[in-house]
Amino acid sequence: MHPRSFLRSFLKIIAVAAVLAWSLAPILLIFMSSFKADRDIFAVPPRLGFSPTLDNYVALVTRWGDFFSGLLNSLIVTVGATILAVLTSAMAGYAYSRFRHRILAGSAFFLIFIRLIPPIVITLPLFPAVNALGLSDTHLILIVLYATFFVSLGTLVMRTFIDQIPKEVDEAAHIDGATRGQILRKIILPLSAQGMVAVAVFVIVYAWNEFLFAFIFTTTRAKTAPLVISEMIGAVEGVEWGVLFAASTVQLLPILLFVVLAQKHLVAGLTAGATKG
């Protein structure tokens, strides 16, 4: 091999190794440490070998029952927000792809403009309003909030995907006597399934992990898993790292697996949403 190209591939391997270490080391660390006994977690200097134990998970189950109802709440909120966001975005995306009118120009601008408003700002009036409506600490309020903060991006992504379906397909169905609703349900939605998956990926990751709204709007009944973990961080001044690692691992693994499996859709959605805006 040519010495210069050898040097180049050597440097490339070093760079790739550095990128992998940066991205994966923190994740691997809590995953591995969740199977460590306290004496291994607190070992100075760190020991390489350790005998794995499930003690932390046992402690999580026996002492933090809250965490598992938190997981269930997270699941309910995530499923609800995803369905709401995907359905409304698909309908709007279809309209923005197929119709032309000044109203659509103005409202499309509004849709993206609204993304500039920081979520924390709207908590000020929403907090008393949500309390007055009796929606505080419910799944419903989180579902609506999470879906709302992703319908702008969702509509853009859906429009991009529906734009790729030739208009002739709708026209042919129209001539065959299909109504708008039938065209949307029987033709457009199945053909833009990839777009719906891309939108779903965004919403699922966001709703599963979100902290700010959960922190402000839920206290006990609808408390999500990230909020329970944050309480555990607050409670670990005596430092119960092991339980914390176990909880983080349980919260992280399903969504990590999902992102890895859906990475193609995540990349497609991110690029469609950012560049077509």
Site for another protein in 11-40 (CB under 8 A): 12, 15-16, 19-20, 22-24, 26-27, 29-30, 33
User: Closer to another protein at the Cβ: 79 or 256?
Assistant: 256
User: Do 152 and 242 touch, CB atoms closer than 8 A?
Assistant: no
| Contact residues for 200 (Cβ-Cβ < 8 A; gap 6+) | 82, 85, 86
The burial class, CB within 10 Å (0-12 / 13-18 / 19+), for 180 is: middle
138 binds another protein (CB under 8 A): no
Neighbours of 100 (CB within 10 A): 8
Question: Least distance (Å) from another protein to the CB of residue 229?
Answer: 5
| Residue choice 10, 46, 172, 219 for contact with another protein (CB under 8 A) | 46
Nearest to 266 by CA among 192, 198, 209, 204: 198
For residues 88-107, which are near another protein according to CB under 8 A?
88-89, 91-92, 94-96, 98-107
User: Closer to another protein at the Cβ: 1 or 260?
Assistant: 260
Question: Least distance (Å) from another protein to the CB of residue 205?
Answer: 6
Could you tell me how far CA 194 lies from the centroid of its own chain? Answer: 17
Please work out, in degrees rounded to the nearest 5, the angle formed at the alpha carbon of residue 162 by the alpha carbons of 182 and 168: 65
| Residue choice 60, 81, 151, 197 for contact with another protein (CB under 8 A) | 151
For residues 223-242, which are near another protein according to CB under 8 A?
226-227, 229-230, 233, 241
Question: Least distance (Å) from another protein to the CB of residue 211?
Answer: 4
For residues 104-123, which are near another protein according to CB under 8 A?
104-123
The count of residues interacting with another protein (CB under 8 A) is 101
Stretch that binds another protein, among 8-16, 57-65, 166-174, 190-198 (CB under 8 A): 8-16
Binding mask 174-213 for another protein (x = CB under 8 A): ------x---x--------------------x--xxxxx-
User: Closer to another protein at the Cβ: 129 or 190?
Assistant: 129
User: Do 192 and 158 touch, CB atoms closer than 8 A?
Assistant: yes
DSSP 95-158: HHHH---HHHHHHHHHHHHGGGS-HHHHHHHHHHHHHHTT-TT-HHHHHHHHHHHHHHHHHHHH
CA distances from 92 to 6, 102, 180 (A): 53, 15, 13
Question: Least distance (Å) from another protein to the CB of residue 221?
Answer: 20
| Residue choice 189, 203, 245, 265 for contact with another protein (CB under 8 A) | 245
